[in-house]
Structure 1
Amino acid sequence: MTSSPTPPPAPSGPPAEHRPLRRLTARGRDEAHRVASSLELFFDLCFVVAIAQAGVQLVHALAEGHAGEGILNYAMIFFAIWWAWMNFTWFASAYDNDDVLYRVVTLIQIAGVLVLAAGVSRAFDEHEFLLVWLGYAIMRLAMTAQWLRVARASGGAERTMALRYAVGVLLCQIGWLGLLVLPEHARPWVFLVIAPLEMLVPLYAEKAHATSWHPHHIAERYGLFTIIVLGETIAAATVAVKSSLDENDALGELLPIAAGGLLIIFAAWWIYFVVPIHGHLRSNRESFLWGYGHYLIFASGAAIGAGLEVAVEQAVGEAHISTLSASASVTLPTALFLLTVWALHSRFYKVGIAQQLVLPTASLLVIVCTFLGSWAVLATGLVCALAVAAGVTLTARMAARERGASGSSGERTTAPVG
C-alpha cells in the first residue's frame, strides 16, 4: 500500500489446509475469484455502528451551533474508526488464512470498535476519551498480534516488514495516551501529530517488501463499505424525516429535503461505482494515495446523512441555527464527496476536458446551492442528478463517435461517468 517495490508472487489460491491453526502466510495477487468473506462483511457492519454514533453526535453539535468543535471531534473519531478498518482490510487482503486464531483476533477487533462506539457520546459531550482510547487500543493490539503471526511465519524482508508494522502500531498507540493525560486544549495537537505518524507506518514498514494485496478484492472491500456508509446515511435521514413528520405538521417543509437527500445519495452511489477502479490499483504508490484518500470519501458520505438530519431539524424549528448553516451541513460534505471521488476515481477514466469538468463543476455548483435557503437541499440533489446525466451523455456521445470513426464497435475505452 506504499511506493515500495511490487512483492514477489505469492502462492495463489486460498489456504488449502483445514487445520484449526495454520501459518499466516501471504496470499497471491493473481488469485482467481477473490471476493469478500462473510467475516469481512460482518466486520464492516459492526464498524458502521461506530460511524452511526459519530454521525448522531455530529448532528447534535451542528444543531446546537457548535460546528467547529463538532467537526473536529467527528474528524478525530472517524479517523480512529477508518484507520482500524483500513489496516484490517489491507492486511486481510494479503494474509487472510481463515483459521481459528485469525477469526478470534478479528472478532476481538470488532469488540474493540463496539467499545469505541460506546464512548463516542462522552468524547463529544464531556471530552472524555477513555472508552474511545480503550476501544482503539483493543483493535490496534489485535492488529499487532496478527503482524507478529506473519513475522513468525515468514523470513527475510517480509519478516522485517511485519515487525516494523507491529512496532509502529504499538508506538503510535502509546502516543495516543496523550488524549488521556494531556489538558483538553492540547488534545487536537495530539491528533495532528499522531495521526500522520500512524499513516507513515505502512510507508516505512513496506519500504523493502510490499504486501501482496489483491486489487479486485481491495476494490470490492472499499465499494462494499461505501455502500454500507451510504445505506446508513439513508437510514439516518429517513428516521429524522419520519420523527419530524410524527411530531410536526410540516410536510411542505420536509418534502424538498427528503427528495433532495435521495437524489444526493443515489447520485453518490452512481458516481462512485461507475468506474472499474481495480484497474487503476496496480502499483503500491497508486494504492497508497487511493486508500488514504477514502478517509474523505467515507467521512463526507456519512456526514451527508448528518447534514440531512440537521436540515430536517432546522426546517421544523428544532435546531437553533440559521437556514444557511443548515444548508451548509448538507452542501459542504456533498461537494467534498464529489470532488474526492473525482480525484481518486473518475479522473483516471474521463476522456476530454468536458468529461473531466463534470464533477469539479458540480462540486462548485453544490456549494453555490448553500445560499438558496429552504431549497438548498433539493437544488443540491438536482445538481448531483444532472452531473450523472451529463457524464452518461458525454460518454455515450464519445462512444458513438469512436464507433463511427472505426466503423465497428471496437474496444470500449471509456466508462459511464457521473
Structure 2
Amino acid sequence: MNNGLKLFSGFAAMTPRNPDDAHRAATPLELLFDLVSVIAIASAAVGLHHGLAEAHYAEGIIPYVAVFFPIWWAWMNYTWFASAYDNDDTLFRLLTMLIMAGALTMAAGVSYFFKSNELALIVAGFVVMRIGMVALWLRAASDDPERRTTCLTYAVGLILAQAYWVGLLVFQPASSGAFFLLFGLGVAIELTVPALAERQGMTPWHRHHIIERYGLLNIIVLGETLLAGSMALAQIGEGQFRAAHVHIALSTIVILFAMWWTYFAKEEHLQHKTLFSAFSWGYGHFFIYLAGAATGAGFACLVDIVSGHAEAPLLVGDYAVAVPVAIYFLGIWFVRDRVALSAPAVWVLPAFAGLILVVPLLFGLEGIAAVAALTVYVRGKFACGDDW
C-alpha cells in the first residue's frame, strides 16, 4: 500500500506509486473487481451461446463483440489507473465499489441488449463506472502535479465520452446499421482518450503488476470454457449419455490447457515499457479475452447441438470453438510472440491458427483439440528447444 500523506482519517493523498516497487502484487480489492467484471463477461458469453445455438449467427456475434468492448474497456482503464495510483485509502475503496456497482448494472443489461439492442442499463452502468474513474483521475490530478495535465485530460475525455453515450441513448431507437455505426464512433472516442492523455506524460504504471493483472483476468475468462466442459459432463450425470458428451468434455480440457499453456509460456509479456508497446499490448488483449470467453460459448453451443436442443448443425458448433481458439492464438502472437521470438518460432502461432480453421472440416472437434495441443509442443520446441 502506498503510504501517502494522511489528509484526514481514512483518506490519503493520491500520489503516484513507484513503478519499480519490488514484489508488487494484485490486491484483494483488484481481485474482487475482476470477479465482478467477469460476471458481465459471462452474461455476454451466454448471449453468444444462445445466438449460435439458435442459428441466429449475426444476432449472436455482433452484439457479443459490441457489449464485450465496454466491459473490457472499463476493466482495463481501472486496472492501469490502479497500477499507477492505488493508495488503498477509504475513498479509493468506495470509488472502486461504485465502479463495481456499475459493472453489475451493465451485466444486468446484457440480455436485453441481445434481444432488442436495448442499451439503457448498459449505458447507465458504464456511465456509473466512468463517473467513478473521473473522480479518481481528479484526485490524481490534485496530488500529482507532474502529471496533472495527463490526469485532467483523462477526466475531461471521460466526461465528453459519457456525454456521447448518453446522447446515443436519448436518440434511440435507430436502425441496426445506424446504431452500430454510432456505436463504433463512440468506441473510437473512448480509444482516443488514453492516446491523447498519455502523450502529455506517461502515468507511472508498474510493468510486472500490469502483467500479473492481465494474466489473472485471462485465467478467470478461461473459466468460461471449464464451465462448458462441466455442462457436457452434467448431461451424462442426468442419464443422457452420448459419446459426443465425453468427446466434448475431453476436448474442453485439452483445448483449455493448450490456451493456458500458450499464454503463460516462458517468454515474458510486455517486454518494453514504451508508449507504443503499452498500447499495442494492452489493447491487443481485447481479442484474447474476447476469444477466450467465446470459446466457452462455443463449447456450450456444442453441448446443446449434440443434446438436440439447438438449431445449428454440428459443423457450426465445431467452428464456434475453432474460430475463437484461432483468434486467441493470433492475439497472443500479436501481443507477445511477434516481439519476443525470432523465426521460425515467431510463425508457429499464426500457422497453427490457420490449421485450426481447416481441421474441423476433416476431423471435427477432436482435430481442433489435437492441433491445439500440437501448437503448444511445436511452439515450445522452436522457442526453447529441449528446455521448454
TM-score by length of 2: 0.94
Quick one: which amino acid aligns to residue 206 of structure 2?
Answer: H
Tell me which residue corresponds to 2:68: 78
Tell me which residue corresponds to 1:160: 149
Note if contact 2:4-2:14 (Cα within 8 Å) is conserved in structure 1: no
Note if contact 1:275-1:349 (Cα within 8 Å) is conserved in structure 2: no
Note if contact 1:260-1:379 (Cα within 8 Å) is conserved in structure 2: no
Quick one: which amino acid aligns to residue 22 of structure 2?
Answer: A
Partner-residue secondary structure (3-state), 1:345: helix
Quick one: which amino acid aligns to residue 258 of structure 1?
Answer: A
> What is the deviation of 1:99?
0.5
- Distance in 2 separating the partners of 1:386 and 1:14: 45
Between the two proteins, what is the percent identity of the paired residues? Answer: 40
> What is the deviation of 1:164?
0.8
Write out aligned runs for 1:225-264 (5 A): 225-235=217-227, 237-246=228-237, 249-264=240-255
Given the superposition, is the C-alpha separation of residues 142 and 367 from structure 1 closer, same or farther in structure 2, using an over 3 Å criterion? same
Tell me which residue corresponds to 2:45: 55
- Distance in 1 separating the partners of 2:321 and 2:56: 16
- Distance in 2 separating the partners of 1:277 and 1:227: 16
Tell me which residue corresponds to 2:120: 130
Tell me which residue corresponds to 1:266: 257
Which of 211, 226, 230 lines up with 1:219 in the alignment?
211
Tell me which residue corresponds to 2:377: 389
Write out aligned runs for 1:143-182 (5 A): 143-155=133-145, 158-177=147-166, 178-182=168-172
> What is the deviation of 1:392?
2.3
Tell me which residue corresponds to 1:328: 319
> What is the deviation of 1:154?
2.8
Partner-residue secondary structure (3-state), 2:11: coil
Given the superposition, is the C-alpha separation of residues 39 and 366 from structure 1 closer, same or farther in structure 2, using an over 3 Å criterion? same
TM-score by length of 1: 0.88
Given the superposition, is the C-alpha separation of residues 161 and 395 from structure 1 closer, same or farther in structure 2, using an over 3 Å criterion? closer
1:266-293 superposed Cα distances (whole Å, 9 cap, x missing partner): 0000000113434614212101110001
Q: Which runs of 5+ in 2 are unaligned?
A: none
Tell me which residue corresponds to 2:3: 15
- Distance in 2 separating the partners of 1:267 and 1:90: 28
1:319-343 superposed Cα distances (whole Å, 9 cap, x missing partner): 1112221111110001000111012
Note if contact 1:179-1:190 (Cα within 8 Å) is conserved in structure 2: no
1:146-171 superposed Cα distances (whole Å, 9 cap, x missing partner): 01111122325x11111110111111
Tell me which residue corresponds to 1:318: 309
Note if contact 2:233-2:246 (Cα within 8 Å) is conserved in structure 1: no
> What is the deviation of 1:222?
0.2
How many residues matched?
A: 383
Tell me which residue corresponds to 2:290: 299
Note if contact 2:52-2:301 (Cα within 8 Å) is conserved in structure 1: yes
Given the superposition, is the C-alpha separation of residues 191 and 121 from structure 1 closer, same or farther in structure 2, using an over 3 Å criterion? same
Given the superposition, is the C-alpha separation of residues 61 and 322 from structure 1 closer, same or farther in structure 2, using an over 3 Å criterion? same
> What is the deviation of 1:247?
5.3
Quick one: which amino acid aligns to residue 271 of structure 1?
Answer: T
> What is the deviation of 1:179?
3.9
Q: CA RMSD in A?
A: 1.7
The runs of at least 4 consecutive aligned structure 1 residues that moved more than 3 Å come to 16-19, 395-399
> What is the deviation of 1:360?
1.3
Given the superposition, is the C-alpha separation of residues 275 and 269 from structure 1 closer, same or farther in structure 2, using an over 3 Å criterion? same
